[in-house]
Amino acid sequence: MDVLSPLSFVKVSSVRMQGLLLLFFAKHQHLPFVQILSTKSTPTGLFGYWGNKGGINICLKLYGYYVSIVNCHLPPHMANNDQRLEHFDRILEMQNFEGQDIPNILDHDLILWFGDMNFRIDDFGLHFVRESIKNQRYSDLWEKDQLSIAKRHDPLLREFQEGPLLFPPTYKFDKNSNNYDTSEKKRKPAWTDRILWRLKRQPRADPHTQRLLAPRFCLSLRSYVSHMMYCISDHKPVTSTFDLELKPLVSAPVVTLIPEGLWTMENDMLISYSLTPDFLSSPWDWIGLYKVGLRHINDYVSYVWVRDNQVSFSDGLSQVYFNTSDIPETEDQFLLCYYSNNLHSVVGISKPFKIQPGSFLAQDPLGEAQPHI
């Protein structure tokens, strides 16, 4: 967070299953348009009872589109390719979200799937593989990559895309080095760590005019690389950067927040907010006051329960009071976030503002409050 927070990223959700961890961050201006729908763990180790293998998922809506993000750890070893594919299918089948009013994962607009998939390189001997890597002839190895082979034969797996493997295989290394396995086992290098994505099929042409329709949700790969400088594991980390272009299905937040008047440390202040007609509020909704640069939704400086502190309501506009007396004086900027208990998400965010210190207002000889200059 020391790196992401200064870039305005906020931790929105996380899910963990033993050694698997999945984190989702978003810039704070996108928070009202990110709705976390579900987090799920699918163990596949020991006949589905142990989470040393399996997948974890965060399902969300992004500007009205369904997105699923899956991190997985599939079975190891060269001979277990069929088992890897079985676990892949099992993880996919378990993302059904029954009873949650969420479509099947295959109907989501985007699936991002990554992790230690443990696919290996068939047939080629250790010497040939290492020489190909040494001379950066990675394409010589692609045809025997187990995942690439599986995609050629499995119709569903073929729908998942992947960037070109233009980096060295990321497994197995001696720890704290860039040397491939020098132990007695001398495991053959492989691209075990992969990043895949799948876009929902979109209409290609208008049935009446036969004109091609502009895509409303488009993902393009910018980079797909490994990072050889990290040596704390026998794997090398892999990252992808994408550009996502979409036509928002939701263009305005369901809650609009406005801090009223000049906020000072001396007085209770008012917050005005309006709700869209279809928004269902809850007695457990709250408004948090945050310093700009918040790391997580729980990083509030203070908060108020919306129902308990409401002072007026008329024509779709509500007001709540906010006690600022326990807020430490600071030069930092603040913002307000409305958290919906029903949606488990931030649904409204204010523009940044400052809270003036208690001495900001002074009495003039006529008894009128005057700001210090």
pLDDT band at 371 (very low <50, low <70, confident <90, very high): very low
373 occurs within a structural domain: no
Indicate if 89 and 201 belong to the same structural domain.
Answer: yes
Indicate if 26 and 156 belong to the same structural domain.
Answer: yes
Give mean pLDDT, residues 232-243.
97
Report the CATH number that the domain containing residue 224 is assigned in CATH: 3.60.10.10
**Confidence at residue 358, expressed as pLDDT on a 0 to 100 scale:** 62
Q: What does the block give as tokens for 232? A: 């704390």
**Nearest-CA neighbor of 55 among 39, 40, 69, 72?**
72
pLDDT of 372 > 50? The answer is: no
Indicate if 85 and 166 belong to the same structural domain.
Answer: yes
Half-sphere exposure of 33 (CA within 13 A, CB side): 16
pLDDT in tens, 119-166: 999 999 999 999 999 999 999 999 999 999 999 999 999 999 999 999
Indicate if 174 and 294 belong to the same structural domain.
Answer: no
* Last residue of one domain, picked from the residues 246, 275, 291: 246
330 occurs within a structural domain: yes
**Confidence at residue 316, expressed as pLDDT on a 0 to 100 scale:** 74
Give mean pLDDT, residues 106-128.
97
Indicate if 178 and 316 belong to the same structural domain.
Answer: no
Indicate if 33 and 149 belong to the same structural domain.
Answer: yes
- Domain residues for the domain of 184 are 5-246
Indicate if 263 and 132 belong to the same structural domain.
Answer: no
C-alpha to C-alpha distance for 143 and 117, rounded to whole angstroms: 17
* Last residue of one domain, picked from the residues 246, 267, 285: 246
Indicate if 41 and 79 belong to the same structural domain.
Answer: yes
Q: What does the block give as tokens for 355? A: 């809270």
C-alpha to C-alpha distance for 246 and 218, rounded to whole angstroms: 6
pLDDT of 194 > 70? The answer is: yes
Report the CATH number that the domain containing residue 309 is assigned in CATH: 2.60.40.2840
Residue identified by tokens 């020991």 is 46
Number of H helices, E strands in the chain: 5, 20
**Confidence at residue 206, expressed as pLDDT on a 0 to 100 scale:** 55
Indicate if 132 and 264 belong to the same structural domain.
Answer: no
Q: Which residues of 185-220 are buried (b: 16+ CB within 10 A; e: fewer)?
A: eebbbbbbbbbbbbbeeeeeeeeeeeeeeeeebebe
Indicate if 38 and 139 belong to the same structural domain.
Answer: yes
pLDDT band at 367 (very low <50, low <70, confident <90, very high): very low
Global model pTM greater than 0.75? yes
C-alpha to C-alpha distance for 189 and 145, rounded to whole angstroms: 11
pLDDT in tens, 250-292: 989 999 998 887 777 667 788 999 999 889 999 999 999 999 9
For residue 343, give every residue at least 6 positions away whose Cβ sits within 8 Å of its Cβ, in sequence order, or none: 35
* Last residue of one domain, picked from the residues 191, 219, 246: 246
pLDDT of 32 > 90? The answer is: yes
C-alpha to C-alpha distance for 31 and 349, rounded to whole angstroms: 8
369 occurs within a structural domain: no
pLDDT of 370 > 60? The answer is: no
118 occurs within a structural domain: yes
**Confidence at residue 360, expressed as pLDDT on a 0 to 100 scale:** 47
61 occurs within a structural domain: yes
Indicate if 35 and 131 belong to the same structural domain.
Answer: yes
Q: How many domains does the chain have?
A: 2
CA 17, 53, 44, 141 torsion-angle sign = positive
C-alpha to C-alpha distance for 21 and 31, rounded to whole angstroms: 21
**Confidence at residue 216, expressed as pLDDT on a 0 to 100 scale:** 87
**Nearest-CA neighbor of 354 among 331, 322, 325, 321?**
331
370 occurs within a structural domain: no
181 occurs within a structural domain: yes
90 occurs within a structural domain: yes
CA 124, 129, 131, 137 torsion-angle sign = positive
Residue identified by tokens 């919906």 is 340
Indicate if 294 and 224 belong to the same structural domain.
Answer: no
Are 287 and 350 within 8 A, CB to CB?
A: no
